[in-house]
């Protein structure tokens, strides 16, 4: 508990200056991330069209963005732009457009994944750590990376614990505006928009999806906190360590009441059994929330798959629980042994990424491919 409290204070120091109790600052989240050059993964041969052919005749303010060399191994376009937030501040975002588009992805447009980084990460670091651009190139996805402002939160944490944000305020409208801007400038398939994140970014991804359920076809949450509780920085620490308590069920009922006829939200949850920052109770509560949001019974049976540890520990042992409505997979819960607070199968050159798999990016893309919003 002392270690996690020190970590959280280092992330939230601007909001809890009065809580100086001599707890040592945990340096886990303060090291600078150094990009390294990685070879591009082997690429499948597909019948392809240039991404430029999908551009709409709409004037875009996006411009080419410099990127770490490991990001530029993906051959598509790497662009940056911004939107004006409700507070008048400009929030930047980065956009990856794949170079080669499989024929089946070219009409009516590209699927889009919105990726929300964690605390002490930038958009480009998150792109590099997850290797999402390389996977998006293979599968024909566009990827949008919003970046939290240091003027909003000094450690770039999304304020998932804030009550107003949970109810659809805060940075939620700004992120939605980014999606609208990208979809207005490029041919994006609005039936295949997905949102994902890690840690605070997972908490924020969940909030954006639950407040705009008709916008997103599915959501992916890695190492995320339970939804609907916290409501202060110290309250957020309690959620990270002990879950949302009674709020776990109440918050979901509030979401359903606000929307009247909630359309469901297919969800993939991924977390490490060794995570001491956002403890596994959050995964259990997110799973329970996911069952309710997708109209499944709390005691719905799961199809359980156990995966053994891979050779040379390249893959951690893990368990996957799949929940179906008929033949449709609505909720996937992956519990990964020996994984701490890090993206599974990420680029180990960057912190908050674990070298050993399973590859969380691949798992999310495979889950997203099953879903479209109708």
Q: What percentage of the chain exceeds 70 in pLDDT?
A: 80
Would you say residue 324 lies in a domain?
Answer: yes
Q: What would the mean pLDDT of 63-69 be, rounded to a whole number?
A: 63
Predicted local distance difference test score (pLDDT) of residue 101: 80
pLDDT digits 0-9 by tens, 311-346:
777 899 999 999 999 999 999 999 999 999 999 999
Judge whether 26 lies within some domain. Answer: no
pLDDT at 24 over 50: no
- The pLDDT, as a whole number, for residue 328 is 98
Q: What is the percent of the chain with per-residue pLDDT over 90, rounded to a whole number? A: 74
CB 345 within 8 A of CB 328: no
Position with higher pLDDT, 41 vs 198: 198
In the predicted model, what is the mean pLDDT of residues 287-298?
98
Residue that wins the pLDDT comparison between 65 and 195? 195
Query: In this model, does residue 64 exceed pLDDT 50?
Result: yes
In the numeric block, the tokens 């390294």 are attached to 36
What range does the domain containing 88 cover?
Answer: 49-368
Assign 283 a pLDDT band (cuts: 50, 70, 90).
very high
What pLDDT does residue 57 have?
A: 34
Q: How far is CA 264 from the centre of its chain?
A: 18
d(Cα 235, Cα 12) in Å, to the nearest integer?
Answer: 12
Overall average pLDDT of the 253-282 stretch: 97
Closest CA to 115 of 95, 87, 135: 95
Which of 273, 268, 276, 356 minimizes the C-alpha distance to 316? 356
- The mean pLDDT value of the chain amounts to 85
pLDDT at 58: 37
Confidence of residue 26 (pLDDT cuts 50, 70, 90): very low
- The least confident of 96-105, 205-214, 249-258 is 96-105
First to last CA, the chain: 44
Task: Tell me the whole-structure pTM to 2 decimals.
Answer: 0.84
Quick: pLDDT tens for 111-156. 999 999 999 999 999 999 999 999 999 999 999 999 999 999 999 9
- Distance CA(45)–CA(353), nearest Å, equals 29
Q: What is the pLDDT of residue 153?
A: 93
Res 12 pLDDT > 70? no
- Residue 44 pLDDT: 38
- The total domain count for the chain is 1
Paired tokens of 158: 């999304």
Give the chain's count of helices (H) and strands (E).
11, 15
The pLDDT assigned to 303 comes to: 98
Q: Could you read off the pLDDT of 29-63 as tens digits, one per residue? A: 333 222 332 333 443 333 334 433 344 433 456 77
8-state DSSP, 76: S
What does the pLDDT average to over 80-89? 87
Does residue 36 belong to any structural domain of this protein? no
Residue 22 lies in a domain: no
Among the listed ranges 14-28, 146-160, 235-249, which one has the minimum average pLDDT value? 14-28
Residue 12 lies in a domain: no
The answer to whether position 23 is within a domain reads no
Q: Where are the beta strands (DSSP E) in 237-352?
A: 267-272, 303-307, 318-325, 328-336, 343-344
Residues 101 and 79: their CA atoms lie apart, in Å, by: 17
Q: Domain with 142 in it: what CATH number?
A: 3.40.50.1820
Mean pLDDT along residues 183-203: 97
Domain-embedded: residue 20: no
pLDDT exceeds 90 at position 69: no
List of E strands, 284-362 = 303-307, 318-325, 328-336, 343-344, 353-354
Question: Would 34 be classed as within a structural domain?
Answer: no
pLDDT at residue number 70: 54
The pLDDT tens digits for 345-356 are 999 999 899 999
């Amino acid at each position: 508990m002392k270690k996690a409290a020190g970590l959280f204070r280092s992330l939230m120091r601007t909001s809890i200056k009065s809580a100086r109790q001599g707890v040592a600052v945990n340096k886990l989240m303060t090291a600078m991330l150094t990009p390294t050059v990685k070879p591009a993964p082997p690429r499948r041969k597909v019948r392809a069209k240039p991404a430029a052919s999908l551009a709409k005749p709409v004037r875009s303010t996006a411009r080419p963005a410099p990127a770490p060399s490991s990001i530029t191994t993906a051959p598509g376009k790497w662009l940056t732009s911004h939107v004006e937030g409700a507070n008048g501040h400009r929030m930047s975002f980065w956009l990856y457009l794949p170079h080669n588009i499989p024929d089946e992805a070219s009409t009516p447009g590209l699927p889009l994944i919105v990726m929300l980084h964690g605390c002490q990460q930038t958009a480009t670091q998150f792109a590099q750590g997850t290797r999402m651009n390389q996977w998006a190139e293979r599968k024909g996805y566009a990827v949008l990376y919003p970046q939290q402002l240091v003027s909003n939160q000094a450690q770039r944490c999304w304020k998932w614990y804030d009550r107003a944000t949970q109810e659809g305020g805060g940075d939620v409208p700004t992120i939605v505006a980014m999606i609208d801007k990208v979809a207005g400038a490029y041919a994006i398939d609005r039936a295949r928009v997905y949102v994902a994140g890690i840690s605070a970014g997972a908490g924020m991804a969940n909030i954006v999806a639950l407040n705009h359920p008709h916008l997103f076809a599915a959501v992916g949450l890695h190492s995320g906190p339970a939804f609907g509780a916290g409501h202060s920085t110290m309250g957020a620490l309690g959620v990270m360590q002990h879950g949302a308590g009674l709020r776990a069920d109440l918050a979901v009922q509030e979401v359903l009441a606000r929307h009247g006829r909630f359309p469901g939200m297919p969800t993939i949850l991924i977390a490490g059994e060794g995570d001491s920052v956002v403890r596994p109770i959050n995964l259990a509560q997110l799973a329970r929330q996911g069952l309710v949001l997708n109209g499944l019974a709390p005691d719905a049976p799961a199809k359980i798959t156990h995966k053994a540890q891979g050779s040379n520990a390249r893959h951690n042992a893990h368990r996957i629980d799949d929940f179906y409505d008929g033949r449709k997979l609505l909720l996937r819960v992956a519990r990964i042994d020996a994984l701490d607070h890090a993206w599974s199968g990420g680029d180990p050159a960057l912190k908050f990424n674990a070298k050993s798999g399973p590859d969380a990016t691949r798992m999310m893309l495979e889950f997203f491919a099953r879903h479209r919003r109708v």
